[in-house]
Structure 1
Amino acid sequence: MENYYDKMEKTLVNKNISYMNLDKESSFKIGESNELIGTFCSKLENVKKDEKIYTTIELFAGAGGLALGVEKAGFDTIGLIEIDKDASDSLKENRPNWNVINEDIANISCLNLEDYFNIGKGQLDLLSGGAPCQAFSYAGKRLGLEDARGTLFYHYATFLQKLQPKMFLFENVRGLLTHDKGRTYETITDIFKQAGYTIQKKILNAWNFGVPQKRERLIIIGIRTDLVDKVVFNFPKEHKYKPVLRDILLDCPKGPGVLYGENKRKIFDLVPPGGYWKDIDPEIAKEYMKSCWNMQGGRTGILRRMSLDEPSLTVLTSPSQKQTERCHPLETRPFTVRENARCQTFPDDWKFCGSVQSQYKQVGNAVPVNLAYEIALEIYKSLRGVE
């Protein structure tokens, strides 16, 4: 499988796929322009004159990491639902043509979805998204969809049952597998199967797919049972090159962010790149850590300064919580919103709306764009078997 990389070997476009025979300038790389990605997607549509354009609806869309990757793979987004106003505004700002629905999903899932989205049952190609992890009151009772009532997943499952898309992509944290002693995952998979889907699951680390960040996600792919003889899905292959912070930080545009207080900044000045609290005077560390000093475990997230020669740790929704600190490798400050966005492989001109704290939250909650693209591209190839 031949891949094309930019000069930094950051990100790739597979050239063996017929609709991807584009000029090299269309290759997507970390931090590349949102406008170029839009052009890239337009070129995909132009090239695919004789190929079907696949449709997708996304639930819990956030600020668009998953949606952008799915679009880049060649899908036409006909609806995105997101309750958070700032995240919805971000989607609208960057993609005015998208049908962004800023609404509580509970107010949508109860409707006639075929009429609402103007699409017949079984016609939608892909339902995507990931509901927050919640315990089920009736887990284990095998009541079908009723097992999930009262949770956000209930609405994802309702969309699935009502629209019967050909495939679905459900992403979540790795901890879903063990949440509530495994009962949550068991209930979810039972509901997927009862809705008429065969599922495949895998834990994917974004670092293996062109993302300069260690971020593990549980990916569940569903194929409608009447299509299992036609649709073959394979999870994406890992990249040979794994990007690190040196690839994205040195030329990163300036952006909004927060600063450390004077005392914290003085202590962080003592921490070397790649180091943490154990690399400074233990008395200073003990005074800073206070009650955390006696906690079990390595506490490696406290007073952690990143290294240019390593990937970022998982990008979080807050830049300066004591137990999950991520200090810039070269400067004594947290990462900016834009630096975190680069770690998530958003293009540099993808705008985030709302307060600085809201922007950090939107970026931290997102699916890395490059990871989303790799998965969606495999789904696209799978759907071609239905034609």
Structure 2
Amino acid sequence: MLDIKKKTLKGYTFIDLFAGIGGFRLALESFGAQCVYSNEWDKYAQETYNLNFNEIPDGDITQVDEKNIPNHDILCAGFPCQAFSISGKQKGFKDSRGTLFFDVARIIKEKKPMVVFLENVKNFATHDGGNTLRVVKETMQELGYSFDYEVLNPTHYGMPQKRERIYMVCFREDIIRETFTFPKPFQLDRYVEDFLLPNNKVTDYIIERDDLMLNDKAETTENFNSTIRVGMVGKGGQGERIYSPKGIAITLSAYGGGVFSKTGGYLIDGKTRKLHPRECARLMGFPDTYKLNPNKNQAYKQLGNSVVIDVLQLITEQIGEALNCQYSGIKQLAII
């Protein structure tokens, strides 16, 4: 998580929909914005959210009356991606989880926030030949908003994890603003090895197997801006592959099997192990002060479903610049 000095969104309010464990909240609060409402249906994610923000989010959004949601300036929503994910059946809006976007739309229609900030899986951009994205874009335009989107990879923004996601930023058309641009990429200078706990603190995660096989990359001492596969166990299927901490991390997953499930295996100081939940949290941009769910399996699932906070912060910074609020520290006036 980036250390933000300028509170360029001070005086702005936001709501946190499909909040998960609060990645959007951490990003926007780091710029001084205030959360006035949160919504998350998963009870275990609610527990973690409450641990960190002393607030239990509302439940099922389909049962929430949009009129009862507080007025706000920015709407954030990492709406469920399962309906659009490559690993799912890709039914999109035919899947009930896909239609949850329209619950976001009805809130936007009622509350008319200044900015809408959305996130989803990379495949959202190309699902159904681009029709899914087109529907979202046309819906936002019908509601009176601009629509900008970009697929960003955290490895281009300082975080060594292969986790491409689509980000959508929409401004209400009557808002005085500068041109919005997504953040420019920069050179990666941190790798998995920079996010690790000492092996003596993660002994329970070390895995010793007779069928462990390493290749000639296991001794690499050079850093690479890619994953470095150094071995495997079993047949080398998903959850059975081993990587070097000299490279970037594979995409952390909420699901999946194998001995190294959800994180992949890493060869660290001569030992093979999966990543500790705290290491996963670091690779997602969560500070060490953030309290993880005490249930290890839930912690992995929640982090695998979360967002890379550093990327959200960089986009939030660009939203602030578009609103020109960094010069005045106050909200821009809307043209009524």
For the residue of structure 2 that corresponds to 1:305, the secondary structure is: strand
Aligned-partner Cα distance in 2 for 1:129–1:208: 23
> Is the Cα contact below 8 Å between 2:155 and 2:188 reproduced in 1?
no
Q: Relative to 1, partners in 2 of residues 1:314 and 1:253: Cα closer, same or farther, differing over 3 Å?
A: farther
Q: Structure 2: 5+ residue runs without aligned partners?
A: 84-91, 219-227, 326-331
1:163 paired to 2:111: yes
Q: Relative to 1, partners in 2 of residues 1:61 and 1:324: Cα closer, same or farther, differing over 3 Å?
A: closer
* Residue number in structure 1 paired with 2:321: 381
> Is the Cα contact below 8 Å between 2:161 and 2:251 reproduced in 1?
yes
1:247 paired to 2:194: yes
* Residue number in structure 1 paired with 2:28: 70
> Is the Cα contact below 8 Å between 1:317 and 1:365 reproduced in 2?
yes
Q: Relative to 1, partners in 2 of residues 1:60 and 1:214: Cα closer, same or farther, differing over 3 Å?
A: same
1:201 to 149, 154, 179: 149
Aligned-partner Cα distance in 1 for 2:298–2:203: 11
1:190 paired to 2:138: yes
Specify the code of the residue in structure 2 equivalent to 1:384.
N
1:351 paired to 2:317: no
Specify the code of the residue in structure 1 equivalent to 2:285.
T
> Is the Cα contact below 8 Å between 1:255 and 1:337 reproduced in 2?
no
Residues 49-107 of structure 1 show CA distances to partners (whole Å, capped at 9, x for unaligned) of xx8511110111111222211211221111111111111111111122xx542401112
Q: Structure 1: 5+ residue runs without aligned partners?
A: 1-10, 21-43, 139-147, 293-298
Residues 94-135 of structure 1 show CA distances to partners (whole Å, capped at 9, x for unaligned) of 122xx5424011121x3413xx42x3xxxx221011212432
Higher relative helix content: 1
For 1:171-186, what aligned pairs fall within 5 Å after superposition? Answer: 171-186=119-134
For the residue of structure 1 that corresponds to 2:211, the secondary structure is: helix
For the residue of structure 1 that corresponds to 2:113, the secondary structure is: coil
Using the size of structure 2 for normalisation, the TM-score is 0.80
Specify the code of the residue in structure 1 equivalent to 2:311.
L
For 1:108-147, what aligned pairs fall within 5 Å after superposition? Answer: 108=64, 110-113=65-68, 116-117=69-70, 119=71, 124-133=72-81, 134=83, 135-137=92-94
For 1:1-387, what aligned pairs fall within 5 Å after superposition? Answer: 20=6, 44=7, 52-96=10-54, 99-108=55-64, 110-113=65-68, 116-117=69-70, 119=71, 124-133=72-81, 134=83, 135-137=92-94, 151-227=99-175, 229-251=176-198, 254=201, 265-268=209-212, 270=214, 273=218, 274-275=228-229, 288-289=234-235, 301=238, 303-318=240-255, 320-321=257-258, 326-330=264-268, 331-353=271-293, 355-384=295-324, 386-387=332-333
Q: How many residues align?
A: 305
Specify the code of the residue in structure 2 equivalent to 1:245.
V
Specify the code of the residue in structure 1 equivalent to 2:16.
E
> Is the Cα contact below 8 Å between 2:239 and 2:265 reproduced in 1?
no
For the residue of structure 2 that corresponds to 1:333, the secondary structure is: strand
Give, in angstroms, the shift of residue 190 of structure 1.
1.1
Q: Relative to 1, partners in 2 of residues 1:319 and 1:71: Cα closer, same or farther, differing over 3 Å?
A: farther
Give, in angstroms, the shift of residue 349 of structure 1.
2.6
Give, in angstroms, the shift of residue 150 of structure 1.
7.3
Residues 293-346 of structure 1 show CA distances to partners (whole Å, capped at 9, x for unaligned) of xxxxxx7x5632121211111111147447976102213221111111111121
